[in-house]
Structure formats: structure tokens, C-alpha cells
Amino acid sequence: MSRSSVDQAGAAAADRQVDLFGLLAKFAPLIFLLVLMAVFAILQPRFLSSLNLFNVMRQVSIFGLLAIGMTFVILTRGIDLSIGSLLAFAGLVAAAVAKGGLESRFAVGAGAEAAGYGWPLALVAALGVGVAAGALQGFAITRLKVPPFVVTLGGMSAFRGAALLFAGGGPISGFDEGYRWWGQGYVGIVPVPVIIFGLFALAAHVVLRYTHFGRRIYAVGGNPEAARLSGLNVDRVTLQVYVLMGFMAGLGGFVLSARLNSAEAVAGLTYELTVIASVVIGGTSLFGGIGTIFGTVVGTILIGVLLNGLVLNNVSSYVQQIIIGVIIVLAVAFDTFAKSRRRRV
């Protein structure tokens, strides 16, 4: 065999190896999810019951809504640590509107429910709070040039303080049936929060995959300077993704309060950890420019399955937090390794 033939054979083998690694990197979260479900099904047979699976999906739907917004943010090389606090604040504002305002927000009973402004205005209020907060943080990042980590870390503290102040030391609870339906209702056998999550995941997938806005997001995350030189308004795209993140946090706050029939200032604690874990495990790179909504959905369900399986097997909640932290580190390490390998290739 000639030297050129040997070289070609070696190159072909290398290409196959790269393809296999790329395939593994692409489908690793889905493979891990299926293996995890199989393990938990063996350890705890009731894990695969329809009741438990729908319960898992209902639990992850709130995280999923936030993870969709976080995917857009991380794709642009950003981060948002304020989402749990903003979710709590938005949920409290929605609850107060549903109860009829600040003066009557702690009233309970049928009369208090009838005196409220209804779920449509409550939803608008929650979304408005989320969008305004997202715009404020986006402005600080794009105009004041403060790093996203610092801005959203400050937002995490500020929004939590606002929620505590707004709550006045107690929860706001006791909503009408129309409000509760958005968190507790069903369409057929499917919980409403799961349907909301699915619809927004589908819409986000279409936006990222098939629109100019989606391509701009990938361009900004892939190389901000090159995107700027090609004529893209990088600051505008960055501002838009933080507004979108705020919108999803407001929606999540509304759905969570409807599901619990209560809104309180301590809602959403540690949500940012779970959401970032879902996005990163789903294959979105913290370095920006790489990631999909499908991966985020898989990562979100994976986290939900993991937590549910650990609870069914009586694993301590403290151990659960350790496991999630380890998974985040391993996912980022894998992302870093995959990125360096792509550069070598």
C-alpha cells in the first residue's frame, strides 16, 4: 500500500473518530436520561407510573420556562443569577393584583376572591414586572458595561429584597378558580403547566432555528466582535435576551403561584442553580454560540427525573444538592473538553 493510501486511511479513521465523539457530545444528555430512567425503574417500579411521570413533568415545567429564557442568555455568553428572586417578586405582584390590590392582598375567603381583578390582569402584571426587570438589567449590561454576573448578582439580592418588602412578612394566598387553573388545571390528562412549557419550548425552538433573531443570537455568542464588525447591533441583541429572560421569569412566577395557590417571598430559592444546570447539561455552552432548545428540554427533564428518583429512593435533600453541583462541574468540564477538541480538529 502506498504512503498516500495509508495517510488517506488514517485521515478517514480520524474523521470517523471525530464523528463518533461529536455524536456522543450531541446525544449524551438524552442517552444519560434514558439510562437514568431505566435505573430508577429497576430500583423503584412505581417510578414509571403515569401518575409519577406527569408529576415529574409538572414539577419541571417551572424550571423549564426559566431554562428556555436562560438558554437565550447563555447563548450570548451571558448569565442571569436573579431569576429565582425575580420569579418570587413577579409572583407576589400577580397575586396582589388577583386579590384586588395592596390593601386586600392578605384577605381570604370567597368574598376576597370575588373582589380581585382577575387572572388576566394578574398575568399582565407578572409579565410586566419581569420585562421591566429584564430591561433594567440589560440596560446595565449594555449601556453601563457592567458584567452580567455582577448585574444579575445584584439583581438577585435587590429583587429578593423587593419581594420581602412587598410580601410584608406573609404569603398571599387564596385565589379564584380561574387563577388556580393555570397551575393546577388539566387539558385531558395533561397538566396545564406542562402544556405551557411545551408550547413555549416549541416557539423558542422555531425562533432560534428559523428566524433572523435566532441567527443573531448565535452570531453574538459565537464571536461578539465579528458580529459587531458584520453590522449586528450586539447591544440590542443582548438587551433583548435579558428582556426575554425577564418575561419567562414573570410567567414562571405567575404559574408557580397558581400551582401552589400561594405566593411568597421565599419562592424560587436556588432556582438559578437548577436552571443553569438544566441548560448546561442540555449541551448549551457557557462560552456562547452553541446550544439548542431541545437540549435544554432534555436537560430540564433529566434534572427532574434525577431529583424525583432520588426522593423515591429516600436520598437526603442535602445529598441531592451535592449531586446537582457535581453534575454541573462535570457538564462544564465536558463542554470545555469538547470545545478544545473542536479547535484541534
Position 161 in a domain: yes
Q: Are the CB atoms for 93 and 249 separated by under 8 Å?
A: no
Q: Record the cell numbers describing residue 68, joined without a space.
A: 428556555
Structural domains of the chain, count: 1
Q: Record the cell numbers describing residue 67, joined without a space.
A: 431554562
DSSP 138-164: HHHHHTS---HHHHHHHHHHHHHHHHH
User: pLDDT tens digit string along 310-334?
Assistant: 888 888 888 888 887 787 777 777 7
Position 5 in a domain: no
Tell me what pLDDT residue 331 has.
Answer: 72
Q: Which residue has better confidence, 45 or 4?
A: 45
> What is the mean pLDDT of the segment spanning 227-232?
90
Q: Which helix (H) or strand (E) holds 190?
A: strand 190-191
> What is the mean pLDDT of the segment spanning 168-195?
90
Strand partners, 173: 262
- Confidence class for position 69, pLDDT limits 50, 70, 90: very high
Position 119 in a domain: yes
Position 237 in a domain: yes
Q: Is 213 helix (H, G, I), strand (E, B) or coil?
A: helix
Domain that holds residue 100: 24-38+46-340
Position 244 in a domain: yes
Q: What percent of the chain has pLDDT over 70?
A: 85
In angstroms, the CA 335 to CA 284 distance is: 8
> What is the mean pLDDT of the segment spanning 250-255?
96
Average pLDDT, the chain: 86
Position 191 in a domain: yes
- Confidence class for position 103, pLDDT limits 50, 70, 90: low
pLDDT at 6 over 50: no
User: pLDDT tens digit string along 277-313?
Assistant: 899 888 888 888 889 999 999 999 998 998 888 888 8
Position 16 in a domain: no
- Confidence class for position 23, pLDDT limits 50, 70, 90: low
Q: Which amino acid is present at 53?
A: L
Q: First vs last Cα of the chain: how many Å apart?
A: 26
pLDDT at 111 over 60: no
Position 19 in a domain: no
Of 326, 273, 301, the C-alpha closest to 36 is: 301
pLDDT at 223 over 70: yes
In angstroms, the CA 49 to CA 258 distance is: 25
Q: Is 293 helix (H, G, I), strand (E, B) or coil?
A: helix
